[in-house]
Amino acid sequence: MQARLNDRVGRIPLVLACLAASSAHAQELEPRKYAIVPVGTNILSVGYAWSNGNVLLDPALPIEDLDANIQVGFAQFVRAFGLFGRSAKFAVMVPWSAGDWSGTLEGNVETQYASGMGDAHLGLEWNLYGAPAHAAAQSAPRRSETQVGASLRVSLPTGRYDNTELLNLGSNRYTLRAELGLARTRNRWTYEAMATVWFFTDNDDFLEGSRLSQRPLYVAKLGAAYSFDRPGVWASLGVGFGEGGQTKVDGVPRNTQQNNWRLSVSFAYPLAPQHGLRLTYATGITLKAGSDFDTVALAYLYTWGGS
């Protein structure tokens, strides 16, 4: 019984805190996203993320040589349920951020510090194939070697925003992410491929009343996860490529076309039947345009229900 509960904690997905109002966060490399979680399971996760580099910068801004140190605390709640007979999850996440930046604006060195709430996120993940919904008390259905899933996530403009400041913790606009994913399990290995597109509404109060618009951003992701002998212990490696997302300010195009690669590694370890930890590191590996930063995140997860 304890081994099964430990495995449930280890299979729980975690959406890391979204660190930026721009598309800097768009290549989030979430492993085992469409893992089956029993119907009725609740997951509460709290964590801390630290980022360093060209982060929390809207690419429309004319800042050069940006260096930032950002700290983010986040809380997330996930509820697993059945949707048309298939496994699904609903998630809500709220971040709190603090950080300092330094960079060059029109030849002058500028510095800034900010702290406060970031943009909240609502998400829905649904396994379309190979993941029938079931309760933990029931015998788990035979897992298909192939799973297909889809997800939607909405970013809400709830974060701290000041139109007189160049850098903000909130985006003052809505963002929608749509994704389709494929997972294939062979023995201890799970291989994943995902295609994602980000859509952005306009920010009509950008930098003292200007209008910021942004074209869709397209992301492709590949990953592999390995499950160890102890239930719930696993490690993963993921890589993602993002392109697009060019911005305009008052209709004037900016040289902000995104074109970059990111790499992520994660490790999950259950502490007890209902408790677990997860460590993640992500970095840019090649960069032609876009935000370049390193992130380390640690999260504690508590799960209950689903019996």
CATH of the domain at 154: 2.40.128.130
d(CA 4, CA 10): 10
Non-local (6+) Cβ contacts of 80 within 8 A are 37, 38, 39, 40, 41, 42, 43, 87, 88, 89, 306
CA distances for 80 relative to 10, 48, 139, angstroms? 15, 24, 17
Q: Are strands 210-214 and 258-272 parallel, antiparallel or unpaired?
A: unpaired
User: What pLDDT does residue 11 have?
Assistant: 41
One-letter identity of residue 277: L
DSSP class of 3: H
- Residue with the bigger pLDDT between 268 and 22: it is 268
Look over the chain and give the mean of its residue pLDDT values, rounded to a whole number.
82
pLDDT tens per residue across span 132-148: 887 765 555 555 588 99
- Which run of H or E residues covers position 226? strand 217-227
One-letter identity of residue 17: A
CA distances for 243 relative to 130, 183, 219, angstroms? 30, 23, 7
DSSP class of 10: H
d(CA 28, CA 21): 14
pLDDT tens per residue across span 18-74: 333 333 444 466 777 777 788 999 999 999 999 888 765 555 566 667 788 889 999
One-letter identity of residue 90: F
- Which run of H or E residues covers position 184? strand 175-186
Q: Indicate the SS3 state at residue 230.
A: coil
At residue 108's C-alpha, the angle toward residues 102 and 111, to 5°, is 25
- Domain hosting residue 48, numbered range: 2-305
User: What pLDDT does residue 286 have?
Assistant: 63
pLDDT tens per residue across span 190-203: 999 999 999 999 99
pTM to 2 decimal places: 0.84
d(CA 41, CA 82): 11
- What is the domain count for the chain? 1
d(CA 277, CA 58): 32
One-letter identity of residue 79: R
pLDDT tens per residue across span 75-125: 999 999 999 999 999 999 999 988 888 887 667 777 888 899 989 999 999
